[in-house]
Structure 1
Amino acid sequence: MDNGGFRAMLLSISNQLDGETLSNLKFLCKEDIGKKKLEKINKGIELFECLIDRAEIGPDNTELLRSLLTRVGQTALIQIIDDYERGSTANAYGLDAREREKIDLATEVIAEQVGRNWKKVGRKLGLNDTKLDSIEDKHSRDLEEQVRDLIREWMKIQRENARVEILIKALRDCRQNYTADLVVKKLQDEGL
């Protein structure tokens, strides 16, 4: 993901933090950053820069930031992160338009069909349990959105190497052959 967009997203969050919320965030980060350094921080963006310097957060790693905002009761600000990530995946990491279209069609079929076994598919795609749990928490009441987010996260990892064939293989490895067959059929029907 682009670094400029990431910093713009952090600045947007920082601008919406009041003094009490910033104090609470600093308290939660005291072990990661250290008390002396935290005393000098007066803005959220300064705190975020420290976390970037320590590789705790980055353009492809927003999990700690999400967790911190949740813990201080600022879940509404997580929408800013979601918007940033949606915009960053829109460029599909160098995928050609045809492959992106294939993955988008596959995503719709998979989201409708996979159901509660989506985490098993996610593991086959290489996502760790922490990431899968985060997806589940983010969309706790929407199974289809969990699956869509799973595929977005997989695309972040794969970048230009993301291929619909990898999705189909993961489905087959998880004995989701019916869903894999539906994906293949949908792609054939669309001439892809």
Structure 2
Amino acid sequence: MDPFLTLLHSFSLSLSDAELTSMKFLCRDKIGKRKLESVKSGAELFNILIEQQQITRDKVSFLESMLENIKREDLVARLKQFVEEGEVTSPDDQPDPREKRLLKAAIGVICDNVARNWKTLMRELDFPEVKLERVMAANPFNLREQFFQSLQEWQKSKGKDAKATDLIKALRRCNMNLVADKVEQKLLLLDTETR
């Protein structure tokens, strides 16, 4: 399935009737009145715009401006993420709130305690070399930020399958047992605080 069409479909499902009406109004100079009157969903509107080459996977500025005009910053953010990464994570593909909190704590401890060997850990997590290079290029003078962004990207790519325990296991496989122990202690502390 085409990821861009999947994204547009999810946008369509989240549009209210009032938002669809506003988007149709914003398209008046692009689409004829009769055609616009027959549009009953966001998917139909997007389909017409795709046919007319107003929006494509590589040309989203018109779509972005429409979403900004109807004040849907959440959809604008997902669209920008799609453009930057070529992929989109849906809200239901995210770790549950408890796991997110544990991951955040684990990533903080790891960033504070792993220095030179951070790339070894990322490779152990099967983080793609190409993404590793992209993160390093984006933060050329800040080693900690490179590591932090790499871990964030790893978490995003794993979606709901990202687990703090995976980080601990990877640390142990890299013989970073002291850091793994610190992460476990931090997670244990967090778990006892939330009970």
- Range of TM-score over shorter length: 0.5 to 0.7
Number of residue equivalences = 125
**CA-atom RMSD in angstroms:** 3.4
Identity %, equivalent residues: 31
Partner of 2:95: 95
In 2, are the aligned partners of 1:109 and 1:183 still within 8 Å (CA)?
yes
Please show how residues 1-192 of structure 1 align to structure 2 within 5 Å: 3=7, 48-49=58-59, 91=91, 93-191=93-191
Q: CA deviation at 1:93?
A: 3.0
Counterpart secondary structure, 1:190: helix
Bigger radius of gyration among the two: 2
Structure 1 segments of 4+ aligned residues over 2 angstroms from their partners: 1-4, 88-94
Deviations 1:88-140 (A, max 9, x none): 77958331110000000001101111112111111111112111111111112
- What amino acid is the match of 2:132? L
Distance 1:109 1:179 in 2: 8
Distance 1:191 1:103 in 2: 12
The one-letter amino acid of 2:135's match is I
Distance change (3 Å), C-alpha of 1:112 and 1:90: farther
Q: Distance in 1 between matches of 2:100 and 2:181?
A: 19
Q: Which runs of 5+ in 1 are unaligned?
A: 8-42, 51-79
- Whichever residue aligns with residue 187 of structure 1, its letter is L
- Aligned-residue offset at 1:156: 2.3
Cα distance in structure 1, aligned partners of 2:118 and 2:92: 22
CA contact (8 A) 1:92 1:155 kept: no
Counterpart Cα distance in 1 of 2:92 and 2:191: 21
- Unpaired runs of 5+ in structure 2? 12-53, 61-79
Q: TM-score, normalised by structure 1?
A: 0.54
Q: Secondary structure at the match of 2:116?
A: helix
